């Protein structure tokens, strides 16, 4: 079977849900010492076909950068917000849970690290730095099509590749891009891949072969 046929198979028998089901691939590694942080997968990958769902991006910046970002970012914060968030970590944690990515002006990165790093770091949401004066539109647009691939110290990890409402071809393109990046980070390439599965939120897992995803 082709990858597109496997994707179609993963959608078959799906009941109509009152929410948009995601599709993700589950990757199982072998022969990788994940106790060494250098061997862990930690990639941000732009999906050629997009995420198929809303992705929220927040920005920390100066008055000038906030003005440029107000029509492209979902949340816009200034330096004055850092102390507020630092004083109410519980509220900030709740907010972080609703935001997929953060970007911040380089001049604020040190302050963000000191006041909010303990919340953002463990969640893999440390802001992407941009220089003062840069138009953030292109960065935000790219992040809205981006997924994270993080293995941490576990040999099995999951990466979103779209939603069931997307076409089989769109999802196939996304899967191949994700696998190309991950294989490229492994010392033995496909030799470090034990198995790959595709699954929708409520569906059954379908096994993919290495030849299908390349």
- CATH of residue 76: 3.40.50.790
- Tell me, yes or no, whether 79 and 36 share the same domain: no
User: What's the residue count for the chain?
Assistant: 214
**Domain end residue (candidates: 128, 143, 158):** 143
> What is the domain-level CATH number for residue 31?
3.30.190.20
Q: What is the mean pLDDT of residues 6-31?
A: 85
Q: How many domains does the chain have?
A: 2
| C-alpha separations of 192 from 30, 38, 40, 206 in Å | 5, 15, 12, 20
Spatial distance between the Cα atoms of 111 and 113, rounded to a whole number of angstroms: 5
Q: How confident is the model at residue 204 (pLDDT cuts 50, 70, 90)?
A: confident
Last residue of a domain, one of 143, 170, 189: 143
Residues 8 and 79 reside in one and the same domain = no
Distance between CA atoms of 117 and 88, rounded to whole angstroms?
A: 14
Using a pLDDT cut of 90, give the percent of the chain over it.
88
What is the distance between the alpha carbons of residues 50 and 174, in angstroms, rounded to a whole number?
A: 8
Q: Is the pLDDT score of 15 beyond 70?
A: no
Rounding to the nearest 10 degrees, give the CA dihedral for residues 93, 94, 98, 99.
-30
Q: Could you read off the pLDDT of 135-150 as tens digits, one per residue?
A: 999 999 999 999 999 9
Supply the pTM of this predicted model. Answer: 0.88
Q: Are residues 65 and 117 in the same domain?
A: yes
Q: What is the pLDDT averaged over residues 72-87?
A: 94
What domain range is 175 assigned to? 3-52+148-208
Point out the domain boundary residue: 143, 170, 199: 143
- Average pLDDT (197-210) is 92
Average pLDDT (177-206) is 95
């Amino acid at each position: 079977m082709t990858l597109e046929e496997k994707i179609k198979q993963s959608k078959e028998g799906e009941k109509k849900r009152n929410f948009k089901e995601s599709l993700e691939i589950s990757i199982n590694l072998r022969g990788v010492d994940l106790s060494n942080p250098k061997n862990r997968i930690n990639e941000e990958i732009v999906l050629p076909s997009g995420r198929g769902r809303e992705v929220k991006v927040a920005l920390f910046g100066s008055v000038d950068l906030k003005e440029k970002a107000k029509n492209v970012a979902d949340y816009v914060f200034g330096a004055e917000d850092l102390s507020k968030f630092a004083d109410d970590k519980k509220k900030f944690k709740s907010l972080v849970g609703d935001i997929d990515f953060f970007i911040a002006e380089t001049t604020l990165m040190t302050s963000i690290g000191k006041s909010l790093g303990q919340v953002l770091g463990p969640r893999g949401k440390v802001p992407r730095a941009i220089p003062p004066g840069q138009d953030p539109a292109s960065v935000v647009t790219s992040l809205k099509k981006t997924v994270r691939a993080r293995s941490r110290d576990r040999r099995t990890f999951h990466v979103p590749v779209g939603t069931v409402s997307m076409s089989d071809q769109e999802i196939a393109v996304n899967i191949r891009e994700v696998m190309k990046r991950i294989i490229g980070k492994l010392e033995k390439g496909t030799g470090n891949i034990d198995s790959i599965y595709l699954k929708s939120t409520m569906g059954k897992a379908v096994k993919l072969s290495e030849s299908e995803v390349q």
